[in-house]
Amino acid sequence: MVLADDQALYALGNSLLEQGQTQAAIDTYLKIITGQGHYMEVYQNLGNAYYQEGQLEAAIHSYREALRLKPDAVPVLNNLGHVFLLQGDWNAALPYFEAAAQFNPDDAEVHYYVAYVFHCMGNHAAALENYEKALLLQPDMPGALNNMGGLLKEQGRIDEAMVYFEKAIVANPECSSPYVNLANEWVVRMRMDKALACYQKLSELHPEKAILKLQQNILCAPLVDSIEAIAQIEKQIEDSLVAMAEEAMSIEFDDLFSLECYRPPFYLTYYGQNDLEIRSRFADLLMNNFSFETYAVPVKEKITGKRHRIGFLVTQNHERAFCHLLGGILNHLSTEKFELTVVCSQSGMSYLQSHLDMTRLSLFPMAPQWNQAISDIQAQAFDLMYFAEVGTDLQNYILPFFNLARVQCASYMFPVTTGIPTVDYFVSSALWETGDADTQYREKLVRLETLPIYFYHPKHVVGKKTRADFGFPEDAHLYSCPQTLYKIHPAFDSILADILDADPLGLLVLLQSGFAEQDAFLMKRLQKHIPNADTRICMLPKQSTSDFMDLLSLSDVMLDPIHYGGGITTYEALALGTPVVTLPSEFLRGRISCGIYKKMGMTDCIVSTPETYAATAIKLGTDPDYRESIRSRILSANHELYEDMGAVEAFEAFLTSAL
């Protein structure tokens, strides 16, 4: 309780704070404290004023002084937790929210924030428990409903997740996120009509957001029925982007990181076309309607004689591929020349720490508030930022627009041009790219002489499972294509049909997508070419790593999809000696396996036409002597692929030249 002698100054400070005169309020509160007036309320409001001024360390000190005087002050506990949230320090935030929940167990919002922190930390069980507590107290809390849906989605409980997204919409029909989340789930379920309805409703609620109208015309399904359908979709997207370029469009910062419409359609990449124009038009649309330059920091000149600061950015849920394809290079780059930092999500840190050599690099977790994250990254003054993937999620697509380093690079890990003018280089390989591939990129294409991958040889012990364990007949010829189903292009269907038609004992092995609608759509499409598809195609559920390696080992031949082939899977198959048939396409995403074979010095399984693809696969599947000779040659040559220091040296040379 503020004593009478200090009441006038306290009232003045509060009035100034309400009027937005935060610095004057700070000065007034400090006068009380200087006069030995130590009150919880004064420290609390001083902390609030510092928070509004962005002086977070001062806010933390003030809130802690308030708690020293009154440890059970729930509003102060909440505020202190929020400050640490803003800083991205989940471990520091959690005990304050938990204390607030202990002192005020009937406050739904407190339980929500406990759940949110656990969610960010990747502790799904604790997050689920506390979201449930919050919703028990306030069943119509929109944020808890939406986040609960997101958590269930991450756990693969899609049906339950969609129910929560729908409840979040009912609780707050004006909020965009649940509509977008629900639309995304309808897309992966091949229900484009329902996804379109979500965006139509959202557009009605927010007519000022023109991007929502565009999204209705550029939605792409994971799987399409025909090559003709792809042409129609591409034309509609191009026409819509041309039309939208003529309109003025208002873009809010927060929407950039929450509305999926602010990145090119993800599945477009799998349609097998030249995406340069569409991706460039899309990027220009954002550049022309949002002032990214207002977030720019002065570009620092290169300082000679010091180690170059290199950032490698990976967003949440992409850490596995990052470590598979880039981890080996990071673990061997020169630390005398380069200071290495992986910019990552807080929840991804534990995976990275267990798969990277932490004596050679540091991790820099991004703050959950994207304006803070951008500012923090820019403050690191990286000489070069290497984006492992650009466009596989909304965040890794938007971040390069903000010029996070003096030089910015994209990579083959999402093997298509970004179309973003602020990305300087696209790192690829001469073993992958065609002679005229420069015309497919907006960035400057970098062709390393070797593959830019230091891939660790798989150490899994195979042979634990037999054909019978998978339900395969012993005499079947196994043609496996264990890729995500949306990699199976309509043009690939007839090749698969030719293989099975020529080999009566042939069995095509696919992996289920996790979505019954996608599985059914593809089977129906394949049945047009393979009338007895139900008995000639086996769709297995997703496999554990060990079982997956056994599947590759048991396969007589692995079929590389055309237009978007395998990468990690090809490395794993060739480690076991399993032949991979590949038909390189015009674009990088269909040439990865071809380059891997070139690195080995083998071309037997690289084909040039659909007819030779089928013929080569059939010979491998039906001729055991030929298959064994190819297996033997693969096993003799595959040492060229793994733990290649030449890749590290080539990568170092590129970094040096780019800087």
Mean pLDDT of 441-448: 98
**Partners of 214 in the β-ladder:** none
Q: 348-357 pLDDT, tens per residue?
A: 999 999 999 9
Instruction: With a cut of 70, say whether residue 69 has pLDDT above it.
Output: yes
Please report how the helices 592-600 and 568-575 are oriented relative to each other, as an axis angle in degrees rounded to 10: 40
One-character DSSP codes across 587-613:
SGGG-HHHHHHHHHT--TTB-SSHHHH
Predicted structure pTM score? 0.91
Contacts 24+ apart (CB under 8 A), 358-364: 360/330, 360/331, 360/333, 360/335, 361/330, 361/335, 364/311
Local structure of residue 401 (DSSP, 8 states): G
Question: pLDDT category, 154, cuts 50, 70, 90?
Answer: confident
248 CB-near residues (< 8 Å, 6+ apart): 210, 289
Contact assessment for residue 264 and residue 419, using Cβ atoms and an 8 Å cutoff: yes
- Residues of the chain with pLDDT > 70: what percent? 98
**What phi, psi does 297 have (nearest 5°)?**
-115, 155
Contact assessment for residue 634 and residue 579, using Cβ atoms and an 8 Å cutoff: yes
pLDDT, averaged across the chain: 93
Mean pLDDT of 1-14: 74
Mean pLDDT of 303-311: 81
Question: pLDDT category, 86, cuts 50, 70, 90?
Answer: confident
Instruction: With a cut of 90, say whether residue 120 has pLDDT above it.
Output: no
- According to the model, what pLDDT value does residue 247 have? 84
- According to the model, what pLDDT value does residue 561 have? 98
Contact assessment for residue 645 and residue 453, using Cβ atoms and an 8 Å cutoff: no
**Closest of 564, 47, 14 to residue 267, by C-alpha:** 564
Q: 357-415 pLDDT, tens per residue?
A: 999 999 999 988 888 899 999 999 999 999 999 999 999 999 999 999 999 999 999 99
Handedness of CA 95, 96, 101, 102 (dihedral sign): positive
Contact assessment for residue 555 and residue 581, using Cβ atoms and an 8 Å cutoff: no
Q: 270-306 pLDDT, tens per residue?
A: 999 999 999 999 999 999 999 998 887 765 555 556 8
Q: 554-570 pLDDT, tens per residue?
A: 999 999 999 999 999 99
Question: pLDDT category, 210, cuts 50, 70, 90?
Answer: confident
